[in-house]
């Protein structure tokens, strides 16, 4: 069941499940999805953990104000939600923009988190990337999300996976097309201005960075650079995957996540 909490003058939707006294995992989804993206992780992890999966502003059942967002704001939303639920400490799991939010949280609200898992993500947007996003967001403003569905699916899930799992592909496509235009553009503006690479050595907590082997948007080389910049970070590649590692290879993703969690004090 989805609940809502007023954070930073908007309503943030979230799903909280699992044993009440268990360690809290906070899960932050990709652009143009919702907390539903984590369905395979929620089903597995709520056996042993208190899983808090939320809809970032502009997505799912959360409000979608129509102005550019930034990562300070997106991080403050997540931190505000934890505080509203009286969670003193959590382990953060983020994919794509969710992983970018995780980096901002580790720098801006580090006392709230004991560890981070960052998958299919980046720490800086290049000038070339900013130009690409400028064009993409202009198209979304003109035409909506439907023209983005097919190219996004091609970047996110391998052709073989889409062919062999048509029901999963249809579900992901529906998440993309149902994203509010204002939310997509607001978060897209945040991604355009992402610039955290130089601050990664300041992150002082256990971190695991996961990459899809064939991810075209956030390739393994960039993920490895993030892991190398964060002291002591672990780096893993999921073979055969594109961007949506948690959906295309949930078994491997969950195994890596459980191994990482088992290595942390007080989480098993």
| pLDDT in 10s for each residue of the chain, 268 residues | 799 999 999 999 999 999 999 999 999 999 999 999 999 999 999 999 999 999 999 999 999 999 999 999 999 999 999 999 999 999 999 999 999 999 999 999 999 999 999 999 999 999 999 999 999 999 999 999 999 999 999 999 999 999 999 999 999 999 999 999 999 999 999 999 999 999 999 999 999 999 999 999 999 999 999 999 999 999 999 999 999 999 999 999 999 999 999 999 876 5
Going by C-alpha positions, the residue among 44, 15, 35, 3 that lies closest to residue 175 is: 35
- Fold for domain 2-262? Rossmann fold (3.40.50)
| Dihedral sign, Cα of residue 51, residue 190, residue 113, residue 122 | positive
Q: Which residues contact 135 (CB under 8 A, 6 or more apart)?
A: none
Sheet containing 24-28, strands listed edge to edge, beginning at the edge strand earlier in sequence: 2-7, 10-17, 50-54, 24-28, 90-95, 113-119, 207-212, 234-238
Residue ranges per domain, the chain? Answer: 2-262
What is this structure's pTM? Answer: 0.97
Closest CA to 120 of 155, 91, 148: 155
């Amino acid at each position: 069941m989805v609940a809502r909490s007023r954070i930073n003058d908007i309503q943030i939707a979230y799903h909280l499940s699992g044993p009440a006294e268990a360690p809290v995992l906070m899960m932050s989804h990709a652009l143009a999805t919702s907390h539903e993206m984590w369905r395979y992780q929620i089903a597995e992890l709520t056996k042993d953990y208190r899983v808090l999966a939320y809809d970032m502003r502009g997505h799912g059942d959360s409000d979608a104000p129509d102005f550019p967002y930034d990562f300070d704001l997106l991080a403050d939303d997540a931190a505000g939600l934890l505080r509203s639920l009286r969670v003193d400490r959590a382990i953060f799991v983020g994919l794509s923009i969710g992983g970018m939010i995780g980096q901002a949280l580790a720098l801006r609200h580090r006392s709230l988190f004991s560890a981070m898992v960052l998958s299919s993500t980046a720490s800086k947007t290049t000038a070339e990337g900013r130009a690409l996003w400028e064009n993409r967001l202009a198209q979304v403003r003109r035409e909506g999300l439907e023209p983005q569905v097919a190219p996004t699916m091609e970047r996110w899930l391998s052709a073989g996976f889409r062919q062999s799992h048509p029901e999963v592909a249809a579900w992901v496509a529906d998440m993309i097309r149902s994203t509010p235009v204002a939310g997509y553009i607001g978060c897209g503006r945040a991604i355009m201005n992402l610039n955290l690479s130089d601050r990664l050595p300041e992150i002082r907590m256990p971190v695991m960075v996961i990459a899809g082997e064939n991810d075209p948007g956030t390739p393994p080389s960039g993920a490895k650079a993030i892991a190398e910049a964060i002291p002591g970070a672990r780096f893993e590649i999921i073979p055969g995957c594109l961007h949506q590692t948690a959906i295309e290879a949930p078994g491997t993703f969950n195994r890596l996540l459980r191994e990482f969690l088992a290595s942390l004090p007080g989480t098993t």
